[in-house]
């Protein structure tokens, strides 16, 4: 049985639960429930505050945890990052009052910075040889300049709309962050075996999200050109159609190159292009 810690509530909770569901792991999370077990996988789930997850994992109370990289680096616990999970993307940034002149990092010399991330903020300032006064606060960091508590803030930014609403502008990025899977440093063989099974499922889910399954009709005299555009996992599948001189071509395209390839396929003579989402992709 592997013990997994995830956020009890907050921005990573829903995506963590969704990932487990997509991995085929059935979890019952009733109201105010702090611990539960999967019904079809050797996994026990703890629902914790995100700030506490690295400590629980370091102490091996939980074997693994899903938490933001920003929390992992801020808490600075002895844990190992196993996998980046591709959701919960954000950045830890310094912001100042909009309209205030800001030339470079040296503009923060002697200023007051409010943050919930004092460790990372101090590291960044030290690296850039800037002396500033750190005010550690929890929650509503963005209002600190407006009430006179600080001259700047260091906080998580996603879209930037919260900064805009509070009259702030982003000037420095300290860290790019996303959700990661972490583990403690004393794994035994049985725990690693279960973790490998979980990672196998996670990889299949993530690979599927980054790819699209496409079907198209191609004139046979254009097949070589079209196949050259569609490498697929190995090579495209080609099946003859009832209409002579035409074939059906099936393949997989990555999300990054999808639209460029579709344009090239149409230009090469492909017709009736269908795009189908992939639920799982096992390599």
**At 138, is the secondary structure helix, strand, or coil?**
coil
Summary mean pLDDT of the chain: 92
CATH architecture of 2-87+178-207: 3-Layer(aba) Sandwich (3.40)
The pLDDT, as a whole number, for residue 29 is 67
- Identify the pLDDT of residue 211: 87
Check if 2-87+178-207 and 90-177 are the same fold. Answer: yes
Calculate mean pLDDT across residues 249-277.
90
- Gyration radius of the chain over CA positions: 25
- Whether the predicted pLDDT of 79 surpasses 80: yes
Domain 211-277: CATH architecture, name and number where available = 2-Layer Sandwich (3.30)
Token pair 């550690």: residue: 136
- Where in the chain are the domains? 2-87+178-207, 90-177, 211-277
Is there a contact between 265 and 273 (Cβ–Cβ < 8 Å)?
yes
User: What is the predicted pLDDT for the residue at 279?
Assistant: 84
DSSP-derived letter for residue 250 is E
pLDDT band at 30 (very low <50, low <70, confident <90, very high): low
Which pair of tokens denotes residue 112? 């007051």
Q: Which pLDDT score is estimated for 170?
A: 96
Look up residue 21 and give its DSSP letter. H
Q: What is the mean pLDDT of residues 250-259?
A: 87
Q: How far apart are CA 197 and CA 116, in angstroms?
A: 36
Give percent of the chain above pLDDT 70. Answer: 97
Residue 10's pLDDT is 83
Q: Please determine, for residue 232, whether its predicted confidence score (pLDDT) is greater than 70.
A: no
And the tokens for 30? 């009733």
pLDDT at 218 over 90: yes
At residue 31 the predicted structure's pLDDT band, cuts being 50, 70 and 90, is low
Residues 210 and 252: beta-carbon distance below 8 Å: no
| Residues recorded for the chain | 283
**pLDDT for 55 beyond 90:** yes
Percent share of the chain, pLDDT over 90: 76
* 144 Rama class: left (phi>0) / alpha (psi -120 to 50) / beta: alpha
pLDDT greater than 70 at residue 164: yes
H/E element, 126: helix 118-127
Q: Mean pLDDT throughout 201-211?
A: 90
Whether 33 contacts 47, CB under 8 Å: yes
At residue 277, the pLDDT reads 87
Both tokens of 4, joined, read 């997994």
Q: Quick check: helix, strand or coil at residue 177?
A: strand
pLDDT bucket at 231, cuts 50 / 70 / 90: low
Give strand pairing partners of 153: 95, 114
Mean pLDDT of 59-75: 97
pLDDT of 233? 59
DSSP 51-90: GGHHHHHHTTSSSEEEEEHHHHHHHT-S-EEEEE-S-S-E
Instruction: Report how far residue 2's alpha carbon sits from residue 57's, in angstroms, rounded to the nearest whole number.
Output: 12
Instruction: Give the homologous superfamily in CATH for domain 90-177.
Output: Periplasmic binding protein-like II (3.40.190.10)
The pLDDT tens digits for 92-147 are: 999 999 989 999 999 999 999 999 999 999 999 999 999 999 999 988 899 999 99
């Amino acid at each position: 049985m592997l013990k997994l810690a995830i956020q009890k509530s907050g921005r990573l909770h829903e995506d963590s639960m969704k990932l487990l569901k997509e991995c085929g792991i059935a979890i019952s999370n009733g109201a105010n429930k702090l611990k539960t077990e999967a019904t079809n996988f050797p996994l026990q789930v703890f629902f914790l505050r995100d700030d506490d997850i690295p400590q629980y994992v370091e102490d091996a109370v939980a074997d693994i945890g899903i938490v933001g990289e920003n929390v992992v680096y801020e808490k600075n616990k002895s844990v190992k990052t196993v996998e980046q999970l591709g959701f919960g993307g954000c950045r830890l940034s310094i912001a100042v009052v909009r309209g205030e002149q800001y030339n470079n990092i040296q503009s923060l010399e002697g200023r007051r910075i409010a943050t919930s991330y004092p460790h990372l903020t101090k590291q960044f300032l030290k690296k850039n040889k800037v002396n500033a006064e750190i005010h550690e606060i929890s929650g509503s960091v963005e209002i600190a300049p407006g009430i006179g508590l600080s001259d700047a803030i260091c906080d998580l930014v996603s879209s930037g709309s919260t900064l805009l609403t509070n009259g702030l502008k982003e000037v420095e990025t300290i860290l790019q962050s996303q959700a990661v899977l972490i583990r403690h440093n004393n794994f035994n063989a049985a725990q690693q075996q279960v973790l490998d099974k979980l990672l196998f499922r996670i990889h299949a889910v993530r690979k599927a999200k980054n790819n699209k399954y496409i079907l198209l009709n191609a004139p046979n005299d254009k097949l070589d050109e079209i196949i050259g555009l569609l490498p697929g996992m190995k090579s495209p599948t080609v099946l003859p159609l009832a209409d002579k001189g035409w074939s059906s071509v099936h393949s997989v395209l990555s999300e990054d190159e999808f639209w460029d390839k579709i344009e090239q396929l149409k230009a090469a003579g492909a017709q009736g292009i269908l795009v189908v989402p992939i639920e799982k992709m096992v390599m």
